[in-house]
């Protein structure tokens, strides 16, 4: 059950990390898609506006050129109305793209030859079809052109001024439809202004250009959107031409132009977003040169982001499937990787109960778990050999001592004994010693650094001799095994307690102190299970009253914490130090420990050597009654 929880915890931690980075990647992709969609929409709108505006400006340039180039022909035929009509018809025959042309004269110019009363004369020639030209005199009291803005504006110009281009207007005088006119003043041979000459442009060609553009846009972009259950009455793409007053001249749809007066947000130099009553449009606009007209391209937000939404949805789908696959394979791999730990824990429990013949599992990989298995195998075989030889030679003291020496070597080989412990680190200095009262003992210590944290422990197994050494070996192995996967001292102690309680028929227990020091911050977390309280720089560390390990499997252990400043020394020991007896059976006691610590300022090794010398001086030749273990380290920060 413990290993199952361990595998689940590792799995969820890995999945959490992967999910975090997936969220970052998805956010970056969505932002990229958003920008690409806006850039694409801006390019599309700009392409349309540039194309149509270019066509219109080209047509207006042609109209201007035709007007100025043919004004001389009109001025050369001002002697009679018939000659004026002949000149206009000749102009239309040459320029078939014009809807018509006109010459409007000042009042009474032809002295009654124009209209019934002679005041108005406006000669107008226009195409009825591709081959026929119609002539008409349209000036009259009903068509009083003298008050028309186009006439007044054009008549006010000089010979070398640009002509006057009118706004779009609806004309039903001859051919009903939308037109615009380009007009210039005309002069008689004496240089007097006698009227206005101009050409009419039908907006039908503009509408055709807009419809042709809309056709290509619908074919390329709108077909997919309108075919995917979108509301049919939505206008996704629209082209509009507005006059100088903001009124709609023509366009691809009868869209509500009040949208252009809605709330405006700039997107980039060419693109802006306007929204009126929940109808969001991205808009490209461009002024048509030499006119008061503006071409506007409107793109609905759904069109702008349609391909981006599809692309983002596809990415999210693939990443979701990928996450599920990662979760499945990661969970399976971690369960498979942690399975050997469960086997080793079971073997350790069997060995702790004295079953030295328990077979060890074999592993294909030569990793830390395999090395632990080899250590277990060495310990198992050595203990088995020791027990067999002990049974075979109970009468031979020399043999017993030899076997005990073997066990002592095995036990000592399991503990770190190379000092300085971390020669390549400048932030920690550590030293430890263990002197068993018999050939083998029940005291233990251990330490290692993982993820910039110093894991350490010190313990004292109840009893003496071989049983205590076995429990000591199991305890040390459990500490290494469990602390490799968690940095919570209370969890380490609790898990060790559960494992030692299983199969503990001899009711042996272990007093234990476990600590984890963050070498980057000096923050120390620790859990004390019935052990002697350590000293920090001469002051006893406050410890909760927790039960020793191995008494009851359902015990809970509290965890405490403190901060260690650089330069402070932590000193841990077993009761073999405080309970060391002299010939009078007086104990060494804590007061003498205080006396040594408070007056000492050297290295951890010197501290332990000084404390050892003090104990030996105090007990003299008295036989050592208990294992004596000490561990000290100085945090340098």
**49 or 276, higher pLDDT:** 49
User: For residues 614 and 165, what is the distance between their CA atoms, to the nearest angstrom?
Assistant: 114
* Over residues 165-184, mean pLDDT: 77
User: For residues 166 and 200, what is the distance between their CA atoms, to the nearest angstrom?
Assistant: 10
pLDDT above 70: residue 535: yes
- Residue 407 — pLDDT band, cuts 50, 70, 90? low
Residue 527 CB coordination number (10 Å): 25
pLDDT tens, 578-622?
989 988 899 999 999 998 998 888 899 999 999 999 999 999 888
User: For residues 233 and 455, what is the distance between their CA atoms, to the nearest angstrom?
Assistant: 71
Q: Could you give the angle at which helices 306-352 and 465-483 cross, rounded to 10 degrees?
A: 180
**Full DSSP string of 325-358:** HHHHHHHHHHHHHHHHHHHHHHHHHHHHTT-TTP
Do residues 183 and 198 make contact, with C-beta atoms less than 8 angstroms apart? Answer: yes
Do residues 397 and 427 make contact, with C-beta atoms less than 8 angstroms apart? Answer: no
pLDDT above 80: residue 263: no
Give the CA distances from residue 141 to residues 81, 121, 138, 147, in Å, rounded to whole numbers and listed in that order. 19, 11, 10, 11
Name residue, tokens 């030996």: 616
Most confident region among 156-170, 310-324, 519-533 by mean pLDDT = 519-533
- Residue 158: helix, strand or coil by DSSP? coil
Q: State the pLDDT at residue 228.
A: 47
Which domains, ranges and CATH numbers included, belong to the chain? 2-56+207-309 (3.30.450), 76-202 (3.30.450.20), 415-635 (3.60.40.10)
CB-based contacts of 528, cutoff 8 Å, min separation 6: 512, 513, 543, 544, 546, 560
**Full DSSP string of 186-230:** EE-TTS-EEEEEEEEEETHHHHHHHHHHHHHHIIIIIHHHHTTT-
pLDDT above 60: residue 352: yes
* Over residues 563-567, mean pLDDT: 94
User: For residues 505 and 292, what is the distance between their CA atoms, to the nearest angstrom?
Assistant: 102
Element (H, E) at 179: strand 177-187
pLDDT above 80: residue 373: no
Q: Could you give the angle at which helices 368-392 and 465-483 cross, rounded to 10 degrees?
A: 170
Give the CA distances from residue 518 to residues 116, 489, 521, 565, in Å, rounded to whole numbers and listed in that order. 111, 12, 6, 12
Do residues 618 and 588 make contact, with C-beta atoms less than 8 angstroms apart? Answer: yes
- Residue 36 — pLDDT band, cuts 50, 70, 90? confident
Residue 227 CB coordination number (10 Å): 8
Q: State the pLDDT at residue 173.
A: 67
pLDDT tens, 152-163?
999 999 998 988
Q: What is the mean pLDDT of the chain?
A: 81
Rg (CA), the chain: 51
**454 or 377, higher pLDDT:** 454
With a pLDDT cut of 90, the percent of the chain lying above it is 32
Least confident window among 225-229, 261-265, 456-460, 615-619: 225-229
Distance of CA 27 to the CA centre of its chain: 5
CB-based contacts of 303, cutoff 8 Å, min separation 6: 41, 221, 222, 225, 236, 237
């Amino acid at each position: 059950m413990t290993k199952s929880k361990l595998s689940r915890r590792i799995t969820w931690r890995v999945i959490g990390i992967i999910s975090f980075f997936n969220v970052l990647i998805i956010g970056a992709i969505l932002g990229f898609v958003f920008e690409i969609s806006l850039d694409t929409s801006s390019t599309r709108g700009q392409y349309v506006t540039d194309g149509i505006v270019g066509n219109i400006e080209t047509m207006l340039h042609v109209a201007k050129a035709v007007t100025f180039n043919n004004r001389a022909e009109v001025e050369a035929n001002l002697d009679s109305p018939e000659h004026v009509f002949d000149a206009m018809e000749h102009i239309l025959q040459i320029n078939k793209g014009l809807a018509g042309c006109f010459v409007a004269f000042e009042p009474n110019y032809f002295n009654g030859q124009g209209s019934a009363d002679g005041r108005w004369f406006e000669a107008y020639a226009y195409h009825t079809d591709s081959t026929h030209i119609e002539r008409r005199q349209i000036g009259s009291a009903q068509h009083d052109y003298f008050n028309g803005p186009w006439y007044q504006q054009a008549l006010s110009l000089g010979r070398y001024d640009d002509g006057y281009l009118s706004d779009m207007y609806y004309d039903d005088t001859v051919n009903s439809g939308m037109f615009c006119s380009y007009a210039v003043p005309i002069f008689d041979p004496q240089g007097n202004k006698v009227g206005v000459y101009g050409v009419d442009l039908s907006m039908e060609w503009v509408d055709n250009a807009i419809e042709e553009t809309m056709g290509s846009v619908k074919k390329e972009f709108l077909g997919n959107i309108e075919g995917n259950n979108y509301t049919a009455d939505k206008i996704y793409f629209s082209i509009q031409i507005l006059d100088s007053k903001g009124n709609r001249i023509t366009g691809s749809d009868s869209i509500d132009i009040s949208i252009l007066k809605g709330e405006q947000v700039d997107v980039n130099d060419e693109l802006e977003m306007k929204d009126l009553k929940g109808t969001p449009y991205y808009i490209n606009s461009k002024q048509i040169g030499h006119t008061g007209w503006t071409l506007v391209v409107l793109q609905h937000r759904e069109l702008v982001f349609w391909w981006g939404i599809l692309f983002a949805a596809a990415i999210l789908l693939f990443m979701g499937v990928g996450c599920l696959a990662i979760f499945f394979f990661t969970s399976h791999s971690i369960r498979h990787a942690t399975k050997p730990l469960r086997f080793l824990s079971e073997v350790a429990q069997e060995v702790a109960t004295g079953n030295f013949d328990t077979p060890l599992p074999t592993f294909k990989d030569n990793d830390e778990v395999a090395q632990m298995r080899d250590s277990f195998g060495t310990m198992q075989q050595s203990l088995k050999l020791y027990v067999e030889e002990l049974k075979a030679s109970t009468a031979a003291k020399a043999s017993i001592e030899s076997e005990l020496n073997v066990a002592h070597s095995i036990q000592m080989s399991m503990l770190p004994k190379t000092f300085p412990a971390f020669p390549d680190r400048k932030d920690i200095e550590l030293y430890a010693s263990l002197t068993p009262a018999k050939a083998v003992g029940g005291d233990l210590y251990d330490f290692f650094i993982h993820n910039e944290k110093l894991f350490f422990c010190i313990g004292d197994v109840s009893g003496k001799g071989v049983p205590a050494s076995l429990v000591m070996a199991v305890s040390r192995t459990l500490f290494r095994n469990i602390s490799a996967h968690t940095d919570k001292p209370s969890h380490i102690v609790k898990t060790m307690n559960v494992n030692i309680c299983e199969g503990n028929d001899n009711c042996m227990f272990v007093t234990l102190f476990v600590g984890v020091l963050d070498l980057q911050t000096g923050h120390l977390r620790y859990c004390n299970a019935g052990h002697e309280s350590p000293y920090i720089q001469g002051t006893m560390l406050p410890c909760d009253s927790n039960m020793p390990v191995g008494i009851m499997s359902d015990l809970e252990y509290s965890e405490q914490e403190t901060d260690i400043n650089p330069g402070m020394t932590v000193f841990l020991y077993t009761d073999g130090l405080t309970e060391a007896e002299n010939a009078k059976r007086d104990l060494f006691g804590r007061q003498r420990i205080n006396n040594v610590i408070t007056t000492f300022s050297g290295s951890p090794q010197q501290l332990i050597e000084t404390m050892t010398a003090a104990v030996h001086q105090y007990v003299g030749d008295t036989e050592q009654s208990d294992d004596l273990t000490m561990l000290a380290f100085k945090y340098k920060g």
